[in-house]
């Protein structure tokens, strides 16, 4: 017998419609879970980069870092995200991703 597919219910209320802190926290918690999934996917791209880059010196690329930050700031502006939040968050994310990539590079080349 065929079982109906489970449909995920989005517990979020639009922020402008929130009336309680419970609604705010449910929205934040749902977004945090989504962000973790996206960051895990980003990490898998760093794993691929570590596999593809020809040498360890290619792992840290200052020009690429500035390019990513520039693109993020443009996207942040379009989405009304404060650059005071976006820039330090992405610079930290990039820093940690580079550290991860160095680790993967070193482990796979040992």
CATH number at residue 92: 1.20.59.10
Q: Residues 29-77: pLDDT tens digits?
A: 999 999 999 999 999 999 999 999 999 999 999 999 999 999 999 999 9
User: What separation in angstroms does the CA of 54 have from each of 13, 25, 43, 49, 100?
Assistant: 47, 45, 19, 10, 17
Residue 9 has a pLDDT of 66
Whole-prediction pTM value?
A: 0.85
Name the pLDDT band for 12 (thresholds 50, 70, 90).
confident
For residue 59, being part of any structural domain is answered with: yes
Query: Is the alpha carbon torsion for 29, 34, 40, 42 positive or negative?
Result: negative
- Say if CB 86 and CB 68 are below 8 A apart: no
- The contacts of residue 91 (CB under 8 Å, 6+ apart) are 65, 69
**Residue 24's CB: how many other CB atoms inside 10 A?**
14
Kindly state whether residue 103 falls inside one of the protein's structural domains.
yes
**Residue 77, in any domain of the structure:** yes
Tell whether 82 is covered by a domain: yes
**For 3-24, what is the mean pLDDT?**
83
pLDDT at position 2, please?
64
Average pLDDT of every residue of the chain:
94
Distances (CA, A) of 34 to 19, 25, 29, 101: 23, 14, 9, 22
Number of domains in the chain: 1
pLDDT at residue 8 tops 70:
no
Residue 65 lies in a domain: yes
Whether 27 is in a domain gets the answer yes
Residue 17: DSSP 8-state: G
Residue 93 in any domain: the answer is yes
pLDDT > 90? residue 3: no
Question: Residue 19 phi/psi, 5° resolution?
Answer: -115, -15
Range of the domain at 104: 19-109
User: For residue 95, is it within any domain?
Assistant: yes
Q: What is the mean pLDDT of residues 93-105?
A: 98
């Amino acid at each position: 017998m065929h079982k109906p597919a489970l449909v995920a219910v989005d517990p979020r209320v639009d922020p402008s419609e929130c009336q309680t802190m419970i609604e705010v926290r449910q929205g934040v918690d749902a977004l945090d879970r989504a962000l973790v999934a996206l960051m895990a996917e980003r990490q898998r791209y760093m794993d691929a980069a570590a596999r593809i880059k020809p040498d360890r010196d290619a792992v840290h690329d200052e020009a690429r870092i500035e390019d990513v930050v520039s693109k993020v700031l443009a996207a942040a502006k379009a989405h009304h995200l404060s650059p005071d939040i976006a820039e330090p968050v992405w610079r930290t994310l990039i820093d940690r991703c580079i550290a991860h990539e160095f680790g993967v590079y070193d482990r796979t080349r040992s």
